[in-house]
A and B are shown apart, each in its own frame.
Chain A
C-alpha cells in the first residue's frame, strides 16, 4: 500500500475536496494503482541529474515596468457568484 484511506482523506482536505466513504475507498485503490506504476522511476539512476522544470530555453523574462490598462472594477466583478458594494462576497470566515 502506497497510500492509506486516512492519507487520502488528509490529501482531500489539503486540496479542499470532500468525498463520500465509497468515493474515498475507490480513490484509495486507484491512487495505489497509479502510484505503484510510478515505482518504475526508482529504476532510473538520476544521481547528479538537474531537474528540468520547464522546457523553455529562456533563462528569465523581464518586461518594462510600465503601467498598463487593467480590468475595470465592474468587469472584474461581472463573473462573481456574489458581489456587494464593489467587493467579492463570501460566507463568513470566522465564528
Chain B
C-alpha cells in the first residue's frame, strides 16, 4: 500500500511512531494527483506550495510531540468553504476571481488541528446539481468509470477521496450533496445534524438546509473528522450548543438489541434492482450484527422533492441576490447604468441551473404566490419532520438506499431538470427534518460501480449513526476494491 491509499487513523499511527513524515505523505498524495488528476478532474485549485509548508510545520509539531490525530494529514476542501488568501469559486464564473479575506470556521478548526490542505475541489455551481455538470470549471469524472459522473454537488470531494488524491475531504450537503456522491464514488460521507457544524464561511445556498460534513475512506475516519468539525460557533446563529461527545468512542461498539427501521416508502418503483439487492443484503447484515429490523412509515416522503424544490430555490434566490458585481466577484463590462450592470453581471456570471433556481425561488416568493408555494411547502416540511420524530420513537436508526441508481453517464440527465432532481430522492427528506445521515459503501453493481447504503438517526445522534455504520462496515466486510485509474 502506498501512503496516499491509507486512512487517517492508519497514517496517524505511522506519524506518531515516526515511521513516516507528513512531508512524505504529502509528496505521495501530490504524486497521485499528478498521475490521475487529468482524468478525474477532482480539483479546481491545487494548494501545493502551502501544503508542503503545512506539512513541514506538522512534522515539527510531531517532533515536539504536539500532534493530534489530523496533524499532517492531507485534506481536500470543497470550493464552497472560504479559505483566506486562496481562490474560492463555488464552481461559478461569478466568483472566478474571489479571494476570501477570512477563513470559514471549519478551516480554522482544521488548521488548528494541523491538517494539510491539498486544494479546493470541483462542485456543481453554488452546490446546485447532482453531478458536477453545472460547474463553470468542467465536469469531474467518476474514478470507477470516467464516462460517468461522480455525483454532486460535492462530486470533486468524493472523487478525490475515491481516487486517493487526498486522505479525506470536506463537503456540504443541502439535499444529499455529501451522501449521494459518497455512494456513487464508493466512499463514506456524513451529513451532520443541522446546527452541529458551523456554517460560518460556507457560501450560502439554502441556509435552513446547508450543512458541512466529511468524506472519508472508512467510518472511523468520519468519526475522527467529526471530532474536529463539530461544535458551537457564535458567528453562526443556528449553531447548536448541544454538547459534542468523543465520536470515536462509538466505533466498534456493536448494535446488539438495536431496532433498525426500514421505511417502506423508500423501497418503491424507480429503485434500480441492483441497488435494491445490495441494500436488502445490507439489511440482512445489520440483522446478523444483532439488530432487529422493523418496518416504519415515513408517509410524507413522496412530497419531499416538491418541498425541497420550493424551499431551496426560494432561499437560494434570496442568498444569491448578493452577487451584484459591486463588492466582489465578476462584473460584466460596458453597462449603461446600475440596473443594466446588475442584469448583465448576473446573466453572464451565473450558469443555467443557477438561473433556473433563482427564477423558481423568486417566483415562489413573489407577491400572490407565497402562500401557495413557500408557506405550503414549509407546512409539509413540518409533517416530514414529524414523520421522522415518530419513526425514531420506534427505532434507534433507519436504513435506506442512498441513491435510486448507481452513477449515471455524463450528459444523461442534463437535458431534463426533473430527472436530475430525482437522483436526490432518498437524501432530501433528511435535510428537511434536519437529522444526520451517513452513506457507507455496501457493494458493487455487475459493471463494477459502487453502491451506498444510508443510515439515519435522530437529531444530534451522530454517535449512534457512527456506531451502526461501523458495526455494519465490520460485519459486511465489503471487498476492498480500488478504481482502475
Q: Judge: A and B partners, yes or no.
A: yes
Q: If A53-B208, A90-B341 touch, does A37 touch B336 (CB 8 Å cutoff)?
A: no
Residue of A nearest to B208 (CB): A54
- 8 Å CB contact of A46 from B346, B360, B379, B435: B379
Residue of A nearest to B417 (CB): A30
Q: If A55-B434, A75-B101 touch, does A18 touch B366 (CB 8 Å cutoff)?
A: no
Q: Which residues of B contact A55 (CB under 8 A)?
A: 194-195, 208-209, 385, 431-435, 459
Are A79 and B417 in contact, CB atoms less than 8 angstroms apart? Answer: no
Are A16 and B376 in contact, CB atoms less than 8 angstroms apart? Answer: no
Are A92 and B337 in contact, CB atoms less than 8 angstroms apart? Answer: yes
Which of B326, B340, B363, B385 neighbours the largest number of chain A CB atoms within 10 Å of its CB? B363
Residue of A nearest to B384 (CB): A52
Question: Shortest CB–CB separation between residue B198 and chain A, in angstroms?
Answer: 12
Which of B366, B385, B435 neighbours the largest number of chain A CB atoms within 10 Å of its CB? B366
Q: Which residues of A contact B330 (CB under 8 A)?
A: 81
Tell me whether B413 is interfacial, beta carbon within 8 Å.
no
Are A91 and B373 in contact, CB atoms less than 8 angstroms apart? Answer: no
Chain A interface category by residue count: 35 or more
Give A78 to B229 CA distance when docked, in angstroms: 29
Q: Which residues of B contact A37 (CB under 8 A)?
A: 305-306, 309, 418
Residue of B nearest to A51 (CB): B378
- A-B pairs under 8 A by CB, number: 168
Residue of A nearest to B97 (CB): A79
Question: Shortest CB–CB separation between residue A26 and chain B, in angstroms?
Answer: 9
Query: Would you list which residues of chain A between 38 and 74 have a CB under 8 Å from chain B?
Result: 38, 40-42, 44, 46, 49-58, 61, 63, 71
- 8 Å CB contact of A81 from B101, B325, B338, B358: B325
Q: If A49-B379, A54-B208, A91-B341 touch, does A34 touch B309 (CB 8 Å cutoff)?
A: yes
Tell me whether B344 is interfacial, beta carbon within 8 Å.
yes
Query: Would you list which residues of chain B between 280 and 339 have a CB under 8 Å from chain A?
Result: 300, 302-303, 305-307, 309-310, 317, 321, 324-331, 335-339
Are B381 and A33 in contact, CB atoms less than 8 angstroms apart? Answer: no
Are B347 and A71 in contact, CB atoms less than 8 angstroms apart? Answer: no
Q: Which of B38-46, B177-185, B232-240, B243-251 contacts A (4 or more CB under 8 A)?
A: B232-240
Q: Which residues of B contact A93 (CB under 8 A)?
A: 337-338
Tell me whether A1 is interfacial, beta carbon within 8 Å.
no
Are B338 and A91 in contact, CB atoms less than 8 angstroms apart? Answer: yes
Q: If A15-B317, A50-B382 touch, does A31 touch B340 (CB 8 Å cutoff)?
A: no
